[in-house]
Structure 1
Amino acid sequence: MEIMSVQNARVKEWASLQEKKHRDKSGTYIIEGVHLVQEALLAQAEVEVLAYSSETGMPAELKPLLQDVPGMEVVGVSAAVIAKCSSTNTPQPVFAVVRKKPRGAEALLAMKDALVIVLDGVQDPGNVGTIIRSADAAGAAGVVLGRGCADLYNPKTIRSTMGSLFHLPIAEAELAELLPEAQRRGTLLLSTSLQGAESCYSHDFRGSQWLVIGSEGRGISPETAALVDKSLLIPMKGRAESLNAAMAATILLFEGMRQREIHR
């Protein structure tokens, strides 16, 4: 099957997925590029449509993954269609429409000795995506997105995850309800603060611990701060006043990974 016209109703539907309201309404989102599509297929995500450039053909990396994908429609499209559905200035030769999956936090609550990253109002999609990527790289159990965070399915968030979106559990939850429940199950809640009482390098990261990262400008909300058990200081020697959310999260995640690997 091929679709060449940007006026095609299905093309308009795919292009609309660049906007959150249409993603919410349809329960689907769009991913662009060979790498992201490859990661989605390898993770057995529910890919509904795979569209590729009729001019350049199906990317070789994807051909072995097309077998036995139930319900997936493969469509050749024109360069104009790809451009219309793309969020970048230099569109990739392939994109896919993927069905959203449930994002509850029960699985994370049930994990023992889990290192989890919790985002409270992190609004920059690049930071949200980068933190998900860092959590994946550091072997974290998962990520929780609280209210006020950038949309997980924003194209910039998805690109910034570099495929890690498909590698680890990512929950969306109301933190005022979830964090007390995590504490009741024995989880230690941590945050970062320039006034933190303890360095992140002297803190013991073993056991069940959730790291709460706040927004770039305001930090964590007062309601969330009231629930946190301990605030950690990330020592800095230079003149920079602070680190952005993704950098702070990455430092804590990798220190947690280092300690846990040493004490295995």
Structure 2
Amino acid sequence: MRNLEPALTSAQNPRVKAWVKLSERKYRNQEGRFKLEGVHLVKEALEAGWPLEAVAFDEGLGVPDELAPYAEREGGSGNGETDWIPVSPDIIAKCSETETPQPVFAIALKRPADDAALFGGDGGPVVVLDGVQDPGNVGTIVRSAAASGAAAIVLGKGTADLFNAKTLRATMGTLFRVPIVEADLAELLPEAKRRGAKLFGTSLQAHLSIYECDLTGDGIWLLFGNEGGGLSPEVEALVERPVIIPMSGQAESLNVAMAATVLLFEAQRQRLGKLEAEIM
């Protein structure tokens, strides 16, 4: 563990004060950093090679067993720049945003957005969130997108902050596995259409079932709107293919995260089926 630093025990330490500020979105944006709380999120970031500035762990408990192999490598994450810092339980409590803090957290660096993933080829669909406000819904959609092989995720204005502690927990670390970009949809979606993208959006007024749509091939974009109001009028006007999820039971609609999951795995089913047919 080459970058192990002396223990931090004072909450008045300038470094600790800077970590505490990362609980607020404006400081995360200013600093280009965010916090990861708990063994699972930190381990997922390390496995994915995500740049970590520091990993702080309870000085009395030491590095969690699950993270020990990474701590023993040069710099922890293989880039020679991660500091492993023992800290007091008081500092962990000060920096945590949960009632029962886990004994480890990390300070991660935001990566520059990679727009190339939006127009990169024959992978899964691009997922677009238009004002999805609930952090749990955003995190769940990220998780479903990563699990189903989505090409990328676009976060439009009004969507919950990806680096909010609740959103991060809901992703279960899958945000490190799929490209995610923030964009002005009023600018991006017309550009996507000019480049051949096919825009699908769910609507209770639609007549076309998702099971009747071809969700394979290049340029499939799946758009999902606000929990209460759906897609904004500006975005809805750009949708070429309004679709509906057929429901035979007694429910008016699905939660946006559930609807997104249904569409994403239907797209995966179609892609895998097409691949199997081509092989045979």
TM-score (normalizing by structure 1): 0.97
- Hey, what's the Cα distance between the residues in 2 that align with 1:118 and 1:3? 42
The residue aligned with 2:274 is 263
How far off its partner does 1:40 sit? 0.7
How far off its partner does 1:239 sit? 2.5
**Cα deviation code 1:53-91 (max 9, x no counterpart):** 111110111111131232111110111111111111110
Q: RMSD in angstroms over aligned alpha carbons?
A: 1.2
**Aligned 1:63-212 pairs, distance under 5 A:** 63-66=68-71, 67-69=73-75, 70-112=80-122, 114-207=124-217, 208-212=219-223
- Hey, what's the Cα distance between the residues in 1 that align with 2:100 and 2:11? 17
Report the 3-state secondary structure (helix = DSSP H, G, I; strand = E; otherwise coil) of the residue aligned with 1:201. Answer: helix
How many pairs are equivalent? 264
Q: Identify which range, 80-89 or 60-69, moves more after superposition.
A: 60-69
- In structure 1, the gaps of 5 or more residues are none
**Cα deviation code 1:188-233 (max 9, x no counterpart):** 1000011112111121111120000001001011111111111111
Change (3 A) 1:229 1:42: same
2:230 matches 1:224? no
- 1:6, 1:12 within 8 Å by CA — same for their partners in 2? yes
2:234 matches 1:215? no
Give the percent of matched residue pairs that are identical in Structure 1 and Structure 2: 54
TM-score (normalizing by structure 2): 0.91
- Hey, what's the Cα distance between the residues in 1 that align with 2:28 and 2:254? 32
How far off its partner does 1:5 sit? 1.9
Instruction: Give the letter for the 1:251 counterpart.
Output: V
How far off its partner does 1:11 sit? 1.3
- 2:224, 2:230 within 8 Å by CA — same for their partners in 1? yes
- 1:104, 1:172 within 8 Å by CA — same for their partners in 2? no
2:63 matches 1:53? no
Change (3 A) 1:113 1:36: closer
- Hey, what's the Cα distance between the residues in 2 that align with 1:224 and 1:131? 19
The residue aligned with 2:11 is 6
- 2:208, 2:243 within 8 Å by CA — same for their partners in 1? yes
